[in-house]
Amino acid sequence: MLERTGIPTEDDLKKVTPDKERLAKGPVVIVECFQKIPCNPCAISCKFGAIKPFEDINDLPQVDFDKCTGCGICISSCPGLAIFVIDENYSDKEALIKLPYEMLPLPQKGEEVYALDRAGEVVDKVKVVKVQKIKNKTNIISILVPKNMSMTVRSIKVEGKKNER
């Protein structure tokens, strides 16, 4: 399925998702990288050792969820836009998602945007709570989503604006 559609299966996602106990503790990284390619900026960028060093440049990222602080530095380092930070401990009803965003114009803090699933389908309208502009790297957008959508939402679309690279 992944090879044909680019969308990971439930089995693929289970391999990279922390357990419910870790998700309940606060922000944690999820690396949805499923193809062995020569790439390791995520491991190099993690100052806490949460993304383990690669033995081979073609290895898939392996995460030690207990070492992850949810800082999100790795998000902006990933050329594949495959890294997200999920904070299901944000509030009783909402989760915070930090996600990579390379489109222009950037959304603004407080703006409502469309939340998209992995297939690019709109699943909800959500609020932007933070925009991190990172010089010469991928920007990071933080959004609030209903807690039950924290593992579904993986991108956004800014309403009424043409998205350009």
pLDDT tens profile 55-104: 999 999 999 999 999 999 999 999 999 999 999 999 999 999 999 999 98
Total tally of structural domains belonging to the chain: 1
* Assigned domain for 38 exists: yes
What pLDDT, on a 0 to 100 scale, did the predictor assign at position 160? 66
In a domain, 93, yes or no: yes
Q: What is the pTM of this model?
A: 0.92
DSSP assignment letter at 164: B
Q: In what order do the strands lie in the sheet with 94-101?
A: 28-31, 83-87, 94-101, 139-146, 122-132, 112-116, 155-157
When pLDDT is averaged across residues 120-141 and rounded to a whole number, the result is 95
Among 77, 67, 80, CA closest to 29: 67
> Beta strands of the chain (E only): which ranges?
28-31, 83-87, 94-101, 112-116, 122-132, 139-146, 155-157
Residue 165 belongs to a domain: no
Task: Answer whether residue 21 is part of any domain.
Answer: yes
163: in domain? no
Domain that holds residue 119: 2-157
Q: Is residue 90 included in any domain, yes or no? A: yes
In a domain, 162, yes or no: no
